[in-house]
Amino acid sequence: MTFQNLILEHAENGKVGVLTVNRPKSLNALNAETLDELLQALTRVAEQPEVRVLLITGGGDKAFIAGADIAAMQNMSALEARAFSEKGQRVMQAIGALAIPVIALVNGYALGGGCELALSCDWIVATDRAVFGQPEVNLGIPPGFGGTQRLARLVGRARALELVTTGRQIKADEALRIGLVNEVVAAAELMDVGLTMARTIAAKAPIAVRVAKQAVQRGLDLDLANGCVLETSLFAFAFGTDDRKEGMTAFLAKRPPEFNGR
């Protein structure tokens, strides 16, 4: 599959997908065509059982994704804006719905739709020159790709409201302090750090990783008691897999496990 605005590659013998939004001249801004390609790429990744982790980053050295394409939005009617928002929401939901862990590697500006895309990933690793923000109020609009919802769930209602209503941009160190990102690294180390994380995850039992992600994601929408019931069900499910047998056998035999994803 050939993309105009994206690059989809594989590493670690196909176990790690690397998806790059590649419009560096536009600071990787999200237009309708790029959103359509993202949906296609995510569908492709979901259909590749050998892929165990997905890394998402931006092309060039200035921006992860600087936001939605303002030039394309300028003359939109309210109905066209709704359709554009719905398209963006579908992309963010598709990222969150992937069964495998998805890590955002933020290599520069992650503003507006770019911040929203990073938020839809399971966690974020950023360079020390990354900048985050939801500056849509400066354009007379609120966030439209899930920013008001995911940001509040990650950093809390008050902090999210402050950032959304002031449009204030924050640097990587503050993003780390408030829990927006998991780790801050030097720019030259970003991909290596991401691949190291992905390699670690890819070496684990694939089904166990997937059900662990499912337990965390779905459990956050439940009260504690029902979340623990969900965890018990997924725990029991994993006991029926070949990977569980291999993992425990290897542990007792004091050898590395060889997981096959079954």
Active site positions, annotated? 116, 136
Cβ–Cβ under 8 Å, residues 209 and 247: no
Residue 19, φ and ψ in degrees, nearest 5 = -110, 120
Pairing of strands 102-106, 53-58: parallel
Q: How far apart are CA 141 and CA 211, in angstroms?
A: 38
Q: How far apart are CA 147 and CA 135, in angstroms?
A: 11
Q: How far apart are CA 121 and CA 189, in angstroms?
A: 20
Question: Nearest-CA neighbor of 55 among 246, 192, 237?
Answer: 192
Handedness of CA 91, 123, 9, 190 (dihedral sign): positive
